[in-house]
Structure 1
Amino acid sequence: MRERQQFNEEEKFEKIQTYVHENADKASYYVANEIASLIKTKAKTKESVVLGLATGSTPTKVYDYLVDFHKKGLISFSNVFTFNLDEYYPMHPKSIHSYVRFMNEHLFDHIDIPKENIHIPDGTLSKEDLRDYCQAYEEKITNLGGIDLQLLGIGRTGHIGFNEPGSTETSKTRLVRLDRVTRLDAASDFFGEENVPTKAITMGVGTIMAAKRIILMAWGEGKAQVIRDSVEGEIKESVPATFLQQHQNCDFILDKASASELTRIKTPWLVTECLWQDHLIKRATIWLSKKLNKAILKLTNEDYNEYGMGNLVAEVGSAEQINLRVFNQLQATITGWPGGKPNADDSQRPERAMPYPKTSLIFSPHPDDDVISMGGTLLRLVDQGHHVHVAYQTSGNIAVFDDEVIRFLDFATEIDTSDTALKKRSNEVRSFLSKKQPGQIDTNEIQQLKGLIRKGEAMAACRYCGVKEENAHFLNLPFYETGAVKKKPYSEEDVMITYNLLNKIQPQQIFAAGDLSDPHGTHRVCLDIVFKAIEKLVMERAEWIRHCYVWLYRGAWQEWDIADMEMAVPIGPKDMSRKINAIFKHQSQKDSAMFPGNDEREFWQRAEQRNKETAEAYNALGLAEYEAVEGFVRHNFNLN
């Protein structure tokens, strides 16, 4: 392991130089600038640059910036050679899943790199030719003087390239079998795990380690645990990324979310003296309670001292004072009145008592996120007399199985057997679907039919929950409508559709999905669009927005940390059953969802368990025992 150039006490558990940026965009810009600087420096001395490149969602923004630099005349790629990490096997280069196509679309088609300088593993070779091909791939790298800078992402298994757990640190370019977790993560891109190749060609760990400079990038909470294992854990073959601890010039470039499990960020009191502000005190006390399996009010001075928080006790005065302070803060987050309790003292409540009733607008990225993520709260708002609107931001059409389309067409044609035009359309759809290849984009008509299926399910759920039909708004934001997993960047049109709805409804409450672990990024984009629309309203000094609270919920993948929750809505057994029934209305997503992420349970099972686990966590801290709890964080936007 190399010695640090600068040693910071707070980073003492970290065995790899790690830099944390505000977000993925800023981190990507940082990486792109380093690559551009290397290319320009080499160009001055007429030297070539050898880059090792990665694919997947992680480096795409880096490539966007490099393309932008080139278009502005800031860099030329005429002196650059590239070697990609991997490729699925077998894989035709023109396939929509091919990394050849990925690299062309994201980088190579937009820059001046000579085509003969591009090297990507060939997924069309026969198995008999693979060994010689892989050896030749290694020799090409060596003959060019080795890789100057290698870009890496990281998989949930800790794989780098397609070097799965069990890969040795001396491994070279070769054919490998993919781990099931890796294939499950790729399933959405291939429209089902059964369509994901079981093998791939990859550079070896030894090939990667031979690079002169390595940058590993990771974004999002979904990568947080494997980042901690790789940066702070022991070197072991079961987490191939840990081998990077032995590299002399390797940096991890992270956003805040992917760095959230690092000791210096999650539990800074274990590594350094802390500035004890309210939120950190709350987080530390909850952590200590969980660590010792003791209710908050039972923690002692000795408990705090033993786990690096003696200075907190010294500042505040005693464990009892800290405990009571945090306990009261947690208790104040719990409310059965998510729209505010009318005619009650609201000074210690998360929501205002007035006005009553409120107009509440729930943004749902897909047509089922509202009931999956906050169905109990939605029901409570309706039951308590508030004017509840739901805005379904995207059609969700790509998540509908082809069989569902045929089922609905059969129903329609049976209703009117004399409608020859409908029969003809039905036969055309059947013919297309019977020949459709995995991942092939549907026709516009089929995309519309799939969107209508999901719209009908959302309307059924709204009716069940008591939301008026005229209060269900289907925005069909354009960024989503590509027919493929990959979406377009959002545009001003998406923002204006959202802005116009907000201005029309003028809610006192907005609920939006703050779940940034969504595996396809749709939630992240939808939230950005909502924020942009709100910013526009604030800039225009719309009076109503100044009095609107924005609450963020989490989606199907995870819940907020209790330390971050600012409103916790208890859900009783009856309302949990009602919530599950509302989720059941989304029949096309029942039993087997098109995009389950890395969790194979049905969405209602995930929602029920997550809500019950939140309730159990509150109970373990010494608060009241509930059946289930939905949590929210308030977003405070700048009104100046």
Structure 2
Amino acid sequence: MARLNLLEETRFEKLPVTVFSDPQSASLNVAQRIAALIRKKQETNEQAVLGLATGATPVKVYAELVRMHREEGLSFKDVVTFNLDEYYPMQPNAAQSYVTFMNENLFNHIDIDRNNVHIPDGTLSLEAIPEFCLAYERKIGELGGLDIQILGIGRTGHIGFNEPGSAPNSGTRLVTLDDLTRRDAARDFGGKAFVPTKAITMGIGTIFKAREIILMAWNKKKASIIKKAVEGEISSDVPATYLQLSDNVEFILDQDAASQLTRFDTPWLVKDCVWTEQMIRKAVIWLANTLEKPILKLTEDDYNNNGMAQLATEMGPVYNINIHIFNKLQHTITGWPGGKPNADDSQRPERAEPAVKRSIIFSPHPDDDVISMGGTFIRLVDQKHDVHVAYQTSGNTAVWDDDVLRFVEFNIDFSEKMGLDQSKMREMYENMRKFIATKEPNQVDTPEIQSVKGLIRKGEAIAGARFCGLPDDHIHFMALPFYESGKSQKNPVTQRDIDLTIELLQKVRPHQVFAAGDFEDPHGTHIVCFNIILAALETLRKTEDWAKDCWLWMYRGAWHEFETHEIEMAVPISPNELERKRFAIFKHQSQKDRPVFPGDDSREFWQRAEDRNRETARAYNKLGLAEYEAMEAFVRWKFEN
């Protein structure tokens, strides 16, 4: 019976999937399986032949293998490795090279014989590549094939660098990279223009010959492509779907990467559910959107014909369910994000008291405040709350080099106009021009250039916050140390980052905190900044009463919005307020037209924000609620105690 239930839950899934709570536990499982294979082979004096992957996904696997080598005596002397791929052209000592990656994350820390390490050669001439690829295949065959092949998955569905259009029987070869793949790699290279257009990769046919294939994926950014790979039809448009044809494959996922699989996303379609309040809300909204009907028009047949008969039976009649969910959604809408004074707040998202609240808006980058919640920012100030904004990082990696020269040139001209000494400024300016003229992709800027870039963004942030109505003494620049590395790869968070946040919180003693909860930010800064705020608040909650009464509201950045069923506070934005929000975003001139790190979306940030806010309003309207121009959405963080 247990087996029947499992099949019922996973009937949409066309290959084996194991889901772990987090990437760490999943990575430990994979590392232990690799270690067990190595030890088993060593018992019979055989060589373990491993197919290895690069990128962020296997990093924790390699870290655990290194730990087992150091602490448990796991030896790699008789292990042979073949890497999936390498950019072309690529020098092996380049920072972006997969040779560098493998050395830094694994090979430099274990006792492997370097003669047993095989990585595609990115330095070959074009004419030499076909023979190299054939030889690569022969070496694998001569060793009896790969015992284990570990894989990640790209957002195009590529495995290795087998992009859409790859054949299922393809071998090792030179390929052209998909534009999305190159955009995803852009930050490592200092811009998409510097990402190679080609790569050498093992083929899908090569991968298929492995005796065991493990594909790993972590975080919600991979959830949509994982759903296609696991539940979709086999198609060259998503090369990972070819793995459905293998009897030796397993997908190892964390909960976030698995979140769009049917058994987690819409479990009522595959099994009986425990109908929690959140599950009911999600299911009813899903049903209304699927059938394109307002919530109050959903019928018993709609429930019965779409996998929700159990809900209708247990909680019905369905019209009562509809009214309940409709009212819950209605209660999330408020024009008073700081709470409405002298009002019954039992059905409102924020408390009525105190009537005037101290609020801190934490902004990971210097423009997230106005891009993500500019309308609510303006509303809070207009309603006379004591609002502070805290810019957590300088954002100094996201300014174009020519803006630096423009600002320094202005400074020189201004100094000359005012009769001030400008000799040192001219000398610094010439040094800047020389550096920028010969600057390599992703090269760390000089301290002077970093300072100018930081000042550019600081001035823009001040202008934006002033436009929203804040006095200067309510605008805080934290310059958290973790960010100030001068490069895309940031430093680890330290206690100093948390202490600086605690100091600001103690100074303001806010009743409400707004923080970026957009953990799909492609640069990772948002989740780092959020975790620092969370650590600071959790520390303060242990000793300070005001912190126990401080509510933490999450907003989303320029990348995604909360799902409708998740939203706990929806603040309507009038046409006039939307225009004011746009003007506040315009103050960030260095990010206008084309920012340094635009992500996948070619729209300007103000366009993304307005479109997203209007879409949130439309989502509510389609469910049968009032029609607003736009809405900003928030979810309240639930502390454990």
**Same fold by TM-score, threshold 0.5 exceeded?**
yes
Q: Distance in 2 between matches of 1:412 and 1:68?
A: 53
The answer as to whether partners of 1:161 and 1:203 remain within 8 angstroms in 2 is yes
The structural deviation recorded for 1:358 is 1.0
Q: Distance in 1 between matches of 2:73 and 2:283?
A: 47
RMSD of aligned residue pairs (Cα, Å): 1.7
The structural deviation recorded for 1:288 is 0.5
The number of equivalent residue pairs is 635
Match of 1:247 in 2: 246
Match of 2:229 in 1: 230
SS at match of 2:324: helix
Match of 1:549 in 2: 551
Q: Are residue 292 (structure 1) and residue 280 (structure 2) matched?
A: no
Q: Distance in 2 between matches of 1:248 and 1:224?
A: 23
Q: Deviations over 1:99-126 (max 9, x none)?
A: 1112222222222222222221111100
| Aligned amino acid, residue 406 of structure 2 | R
Match of 1:611 in 2: 613
Alignment of 1:200-219 (within 5 A): 200-219=199-218
The answer as to whether partners of 1:612 and 1:629 remain within 8 angstroms in 2 is yes
The structural deviation recorded for 1:81 is 2.1
Alignment of 1:178-193 (within 5 A): 178-193=177-192
SS at match of 2:407: helix
Alpha carbons of 1:164 and 1:409: their partners in 2 closer, same or farther (altered >3 Å)?
same
The structural deviation recorded for 1:255 is 2.1
The structural deviation recorded for 1:19 is 2.0
The structural deviation recorded for 1:345 is 0.6
Match of 1:442 in 2: 445
Match of 2:504 in 1: 501
Instruction: Could you tell me which runs of 5 or more consecutive residues in structure 2 were left unpaired when the two chains were aligned.
Output: none
The structural deviation recorded for 1:74 is 5.0
Match of 1:385 in 2: 384
Q: Distance in 2 between matches of 1:371 and 1:64?
A: 39
The structural deviation recorded for 1:6 is 9.2
The structural deviation recorded for 1:65 is 2.9
The structural deviation recorded for 1:7 is 4.3
Q: Distance in 2 between matches of 1:22 and 1:593?
A: 35
| Aligned amino acid, residue 595 of structure 1 | F
Query: 2:590 pairs with 588, 593, 602, which one?
Result: 588
SS at match of 1:94: coil
Alpha carbons of 1:205 and 1:611: their partners in 2 closer, same or farther (altered >3 Å)?
same
TM-score normalised by L of structure 2: 0.96
Q: Deviations over 1:359-411 (max 9, x none)?
A: 11112111111111111111111111111122212221111111111111111
Q: Distance in 1 between matches of 2:29 and 2:4?
A: 19
Match of 1:526 in 2: 529
Q: Are residue 430 (structure 1) and residue 427 (structure 2) matched?
A: no
SS at match of 2:566: coil
- Structure 1 residues 287-296 or 40-49, which shifts more? 40-49
Q: Distance in 2 between matches of 1:347 and 1:635?
A: 18
Q: Distance in 2 between matches of 1:19 and 1:172?
A: 28
Alpha carbons of 1:48 and 1:422: their partners in 2 closer, same or farther (altered >3 Å)?
same
TM-score normalised by L of structure 1: 0.96
| Aligned amino acid, residue 299 of structure 2 | T
Alpha carbons of 1:69 and 1:537: their partners in 2 closer, same or farther (altered >3 Å)?
farther
Q: Distance in 1 between matches of 2:190 and 2:426?
A: 28
The structural deviation recorded for 1:176 is 0.3
SS at match of 1:16: coil
Alignment of 1:15-54 (within 5 A): 15-54=14-53
Q: Are residue 512 (structure 1) and residue 511 (structure 2) matched?
A: no
Alignment of 1:142-153 (within 5 A): 142-153=141-152
Q: Deviations over 1:267-323 (max 9, x none)?
A: 111111111111111100000000111000000011000001112111122111010
SS at match of 2:564: coil
Alignment of 1:330-341 (within 5 A): 330-341=329-340
Q: Distance in 1 between matches of 2:525 and 2:281?
A: 31
SS at match of 1:187: helix
Q: Distance in 1 between matches of 2:216 and 2:157?
A: 12
The answer as to whether partners of 1:220 and 1:516 remain within 8 angstroms in 2 is no
Q: Deviations over 1:483-518 (max 9, x none)?
A: 222222222222222222222222111111111111
Q: Deviations over 1:205-260 (max 9, x none)?
A: 01111111111122222222111111001111111000111122212122222222
Alpha carbons of 1:535 and 1:353: their partners in 2 closer, same or farther (altered >3 Å)?
same
Alpha carbons of 1:496 and 1:27: their partners in 2 closer, same or farther (altered >3 Å)?
farther
SS at match of 2:189: coil
Alignment of 1:265-414 (within 5 A): 265-414=264-413
The structural deviation recorded for 1:181 is 1.6
Match of 2:638 in 1: 636
The answer as to whether partners of 1:296 and 1:621 remain within 8 angstroms in 2 is yes
